[in-house]
């Protein structure tokens, strides 16, 4: 359920190579790199294996023109990405230009097809009402996932906010929680709310996996959350 990434501005080729090695060795569901490194990452991770290759679109601010995002989606698909993360245009959302946001998400989904899209709504910048509007747009768009953040802003994927997103999405899309998730209690609670993917930094992800392996039966107990 965890994917790991090297998507900060300072990440180097060596970081991407280490990311690929760790993702394959630990069996993480996906590894993501910045767009220019996606071809390298694809060359390092076997196609059709347990670990998917991904990259971001319009990252990290989301303010690119729609045409640029569409072009980037096509290029990443052609580079062999198995899944893509689209940064929503938060400025347009907060301006109330919801038609622009809907049209852009739809255009990128079409350009990337059949590669699935996770749409990042960047919770740190949103009020609860804006968060629910963003989640509804993503759920209605046919995107594969609502993703809570890029990792470039302070963590905002709290349990109350995940619960509200889950209520809005209502099973129409997956939920990926990303940003500041560091303990198994939080992971278990979020899974109980319907989260099926997590974006966690490599150090914390590895530590969490080792903790789960040490649990009875090597499994994390989950209870459905209301």
Dihedrals phi, psi of 175, to nearest 5 degrees: -125, 125
In whole angstroms, give the CA distance from residue 60 to residue 132.
Answer: 21
Contact 32, 70 (CB under 8 A): no
Active site (catalytic) residues: 85, 147, 176
Which ranges of 30-117 would DSSP assign to H, the alpha helix? 38-44, 66-78, 90-94, 98-112
Element (H, E) at 138: helix 128-141
63-66: long-range contacts at Cβ-Cβ below 8 A with a sequence spacing of 24 or more?
A: 63/89, 63/91, 66/103, 66/104, 66/107, 66/108
DSSP 82-102: SEEEEEP-HHHHHTT-HHHHH
Q: Is 8 left (phi over 0), alpha (psi -120 to 50) or beta?
A: beta
């Amino acid at each position: 359920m965890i994917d790991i990434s090297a998507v900060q501005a300072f990440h180097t080729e060596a970081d991407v190579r280490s990311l690929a090695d760790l993702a394959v060795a630990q069996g993480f569901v996906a590894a993501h790199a910045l767009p220019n490194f996606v071809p390298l990452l694809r060359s390092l991770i076997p196609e059709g294996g347990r670990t998917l290759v991904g990259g971001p679109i319009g990252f990290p601010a989301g303010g690119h023109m729609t045409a640029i995002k569409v072009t980037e989606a096509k290029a990443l698909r052609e580079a062999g990405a198995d899944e893509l993360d689209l940064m929503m245009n938060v400025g347009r959302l907060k301006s109330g230009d919801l038609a622009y946001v809907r049209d852009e998400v739809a255009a990128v989904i079409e350009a990337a097809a059949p590669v699935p899209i996770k749409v990042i709504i960047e919770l740190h910048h949103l009020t609860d009402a804006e968060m629910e509007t963003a989640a509804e747009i993503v759920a209605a768009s046919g995107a594969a996932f609502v993703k809570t953040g890029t990792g470039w802003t302070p963590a905002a994927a709290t349990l109350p906010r995940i619960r509200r997103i889950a209520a809005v999405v209502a099973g129409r899309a997956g939920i990926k929680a990303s940003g500041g998730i560091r303990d198994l209690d939080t992971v278990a609670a979020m899974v109980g709310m319907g989260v099926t993917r997590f974006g966690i930094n490599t150090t914390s992800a590895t530590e969490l996996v080792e903790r789960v392996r040490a649990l009875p039966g090597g499994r994390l107990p989950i209870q459905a959350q209301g």
